[in-house]
Amino acid sequence: MARRKRLRSSGGSAEGDMTPMIDMTFQLIAFFMVLVNFSEVDQNERIRLPLSQLAKPPDAPLPDPITLQLTREGTILLGGQEFSVEQLPVPLRRERQVLENTPGKSVRGATIVIRADMAAKAGIVQEVIRACQDNGFERFALRAKQVAERRPT
């Protein structure tokens, strides 16, 4: 009986310290915020992808992707900067140098991802591919928005 009186009189309750759990929650929130910011770098709201029934997400991540975004005006967005087709070889050479100076990476192993606006001219897309090939890039992936299949009801 003496024990019961001591617990009641001290007002003790068995509550855990929530500080470590709150700390871990904030760390997870910060981690996911950083992760989301990196994935948004490869997309631009100015680019409206064309629709395609054949479009599908890639089965696996592309090796060493370099994303080129072609606007409807014919300019190319790469790494947050805007270039004309004539200026494109300069940043491509820079990307090539980075790959060549990185152990285990190669220009031939890199994949150029082209996100062209649906109103962009096909001739400009061909010029972009030609400029990439002139700089040693051989792998290409074109992006399109997948058309949702309609199921009969």
Sorted by where each starts, the structural domains of the chain and their CATH numbers stand as 51-146 (3.30.420.270)
pLDDT digits (tens, 9 = 90+) for 12-66: 566 788 888 899 998 998 887 776 654 444 565 666 666 665 556 666 777 778 8
Cα 93 to Cα 91: distance, rounded to the nearest angstrom: 5
Residue 143 tokens read as 């992006």
Residue 39: per-residue pLDDT: 46
In this predicted structure, the answer to whether residue 3 has a pLDDT above a threshold of 60 is no
Which of 44, 38, 60 has its CA nearest to residue 111?
60
Contact between 47 and 115 under an 8 Å Cβ cutoff? The reply is yes
Residues 50, 31: Cα–Cα separation, whole Å? 33
Q: Name the amino acid, one letter, at 151.
A: R
The residues facing 141 across adjacent strands are 113
- Cα→Cα distances 62→43, 58, 89, 140, Å: 16, 8, 22, 10
Q: What is the pLDDT of residue 86?
A: 92
pLDDT of residue 40: 44
Residue 137, pLDDT > 70, answer yes
Look up residue 69 and give its two tokens.
């975004």
* Mean pLDDT value across the chain: 78
pLDDT, position 130? 93
Q: How far apart are CA 95 and CA 117, in angstroms?
A: 23
Strand, helix or coil for residue 125: helix
Helix (H) or strand (E) holding 97: helix 89-100
Q: Who wins on pLDDT, 148 or 5?
A: 148
pLDDT value of residue 62 = 75
